[in-house]
Structure 1
Amino acid sequence: MKKTLILRMTISIIFLNIIALVGCKTETSKKETITEKEPVGQIEVDSIIEPKVEKPVFKSLEGVADTTFVRLADYSDGFAYDLRYATDNNFLKEQVYDCGECYTRAKTVKALLKANEEFKKHGVKIKFYDCYRPNSVQYKMWKIVPNPQYVANPVKGSIHNKGGAVDITLVTLDGDEVKMPSDFDFFGKRAYHDNFDLPQEILDNRKLLKETMEKFGFWSTRTEWWHYNLQGASHDPIANFKWDCE
């Protein structure tokens, strides 16, 4: 009788252990299933909406008189700028503009836009050192350096004062400098167009600048590789308006 009771108790204990083991496995399986589920609130990548980037709106030159002075940046963001006379990094060693802006007459802008599109085909674009220059600034420059070899006599005026001249170089589309014969406003033989005692890369860059600008109606100055005048601009009157500085 006792043996039978002991046997039954042993069987019961074994049975309870088996049930306990099965329960643990089931619980573990549930936990693993829960862990494998995606976190609540996870956003599908495809459902993320990228913010819209507004493209700048530029003015049109349609209907604008050729002789009207306009701000180049209002018509394109495809140029680069290093307007030296708004700093003291120039041959005068003095700032003569209150702030840097590139204004020219509308006909000059039209030609510059066309030339810049051509340059882009070669992986470069125009960078400006100087554009329109008020005649009052010409007087200021003449007072600092009264030498017609370097500064146009303000009485006669410069084509810069007429909105038909630009001082430029080339940079890559990413804005990196392209090698040229000299720095801007370097007055010496190295800056002359007829100086060929230069590395071939520099000669090629200068040639690209000159030939492209001439193709779109500009002519160069023999002693300054950076200076270009629009054809016919010398007949325009001298101007003295000043742009606003924000």
Structure 2
Amino acid sequence: MKKSLLFLLLFCLASCKSTYLDSKKSAHLLDIAQEKDDNVFVNLKNYSNDFVYDMKYATTDNFLNKQVYPCAECFLKVKTVKSLLEANKAFLNKGYRIKLYDCYRPRDIQKKMWKIVPNANYVANPKKGSIHNKGGAVDISLVDSLGTELNMGTKFDFFGIEAGHNYQNLSEEVLANRKFLKETMLQHNFKSFDSEWWHYNLINSSADEVSNLKWRCEN
């Protein structure tokens, strides 16, 4: 019996497909159009060099005051990446680019966040999960050609009414920046989240399954 179990273990180590997402950066940029399965998770950095990354939950600079990701990676489903690349292309044509704060979030990370802040007003209950857990959500802002972030009126993950799209008691600059971000994202298959100017969900992504796929950190 022990020999059989050992054989199965060795066989799996040699042939079983890894359940971890691949964090290694490709030697050259890949073409997202060549990806035929829209529901596969891929690493955004392998398809474009035109994004800015500030992955807040891989640091302590977030509302949790805790690092909950082992390292900064932006995984999303292929269909999300396809739309996000098109949206970023539209921003690039006007001298801006997307800055990313959060992408796909494994369910175990959602549980960790819920344990720290068990309040559905701030963190989605992991029993139900969020679109982040499905690879269909991004938290974003915009930077200009010099890398300066546009003024959006509040910081990322500010949980006051001022962060909402319907809040109008803001400067003309802030309202114009939010409108620019929102209108462009809506034109590229995303929908906004009313209470958070930074949060966008791929249309129809809510029907996808919650995932717990994780990634190993590369040195």
TM-score relative to the length of structure 2: 0.85
CA contact (8 A) 2:117 2:123 kept: yes
Structure 1: runs of 5+ lacking an equivalent: 1-55
Distance of aligned partners of 1:227 and 1:73 in 2 relative to their CA distance in 1, 3 Å threshold: same
Tell me the distance in 1 between the aligned counterparts of 2:59 and 2:35.
Answer: 35
Tell me the distance in 2 between the aligned counterparts of 1:101 and 1:230.
Answer: 19
Structure 2: runs of 5+ lacking an equivalent: 1-26
**Larger-Rg structure:** 1
Q: Aligned to 1:82, which of 42, 54, 58?
A: 54
Q: Aligned to 2:30, which of 39, 59, 83?
A: 59
1:197 aligns with 2:174: no
Q: Equivalent residue for 1:230?
A: 202
Q: Equivalent residue for 1:38?
A: none
Question: Equivalences for 1:1-246 in 2 at 5 Å?
Answer: 57-61=28-32, 62-246=34-218
The alpha-carbon deviation at position 64 of structure 1 amounts to: 3.0
Tell me the distance in 1 between the aligned counterparts of 2:55 and 2:213.
Answer: 18
The alpha-carbon deviation at position 60 of structure 1 amounts to: 1.6
What secondary structure sits across from 1:110 in the alignment?
helix
What secondary structure sits across from 1:88 in the alignment?
coil
TM-score relative to the length of structure 1: 0.76
Amino acid aligned to 1:60? D
What secondary structure sits across from 2:85 in the alignment?
helix
RMSD: 0.9
CA contact (8 A) 2:35 2:78 kept: no
The alpha-carbon deviation at position 57 of structure 1 amounts to: 2.4
**Misfit runs of 4+, over 4 Å:** none
Tell me the distance in 1 between the aligned counterparts of 2:210 and 2:35.
Answer: 23
Tell me the distance in 2 between the aligned counterparts of 1:164 and 1:116.
Answer: 16
What secondary structure sits across from 1:168 in the alignment?
strand
